[in-house]
Amino acid sequence: MKIEVRENDLDPWKELDQYQNNSQNLVGKYGATSVFIGTMRDFNENENVVGMTLEYYPGMTEKYLQQIVMTAMNKWSILDAMVIHRAGNLRPHDPIVLVAVWSAHRGAAYDANRFIMEELKSTAPFWKKETLDDGVRWLHKNTVS
């Protein structure tokens, strides 16, 4: 399992490739990899968004993400999972989050990946401040799935 919150750039495909190729525990065991990559949009709530700042509590947020993944591992038959989430200043089109799940079968991989992402979006301790064309605003709720 890999859990990381970072303020530097995220290349999700490179991260996925490196992790999968360096995980000997996965070799020959998985038949499915379910991947979700979230990117920043340039709109929200009918307004143009030119930037976003994501804040979090170091240590606490990673522990919370680990608990989400452990719950998924206990609920579905998955072999491994990875969550990498950006923090700090972001621009439209920047990758924000990568969730990857490996399993012997696609059903468990799909279901666990969706669970992890939905829990992350709805309960993980991240705070978002959007920069609009004419000011800033803190988001008090997450967007729809």
* Mean pLDDT across the chain: 95
Tell me how far apart the alpha carbons of residues 59 and 4 are, in angstroms, rounded to a whole number. Answer: 10
List, in order of start, the domains of the chain with CATH numbers. Answer: 2-138 (3.90.1170.40)
| Reduced DSSP (H G I as helix, E B as strand, rest coil) percent helix, strand, coil of the chain, to 5 | 30, 40, 30
pTM above 0.85, yes or no: yes
In tens, the pLDDT along 64-113 reads: 999 999 999 999 999 999 999 999 999 999 999 999 999 999 999 999 99
Tell me how far apart the alpha carbons of residues 75 and 107 are, in angstroms, rounded to a whole number. Answer: 12
Tell me how far apart the alpha carbons of residues 95 and 39 are, in angstroms, rounded to a whole number. Answer: 4
Q: Give the three-class secondary structure for 58.
A: coil
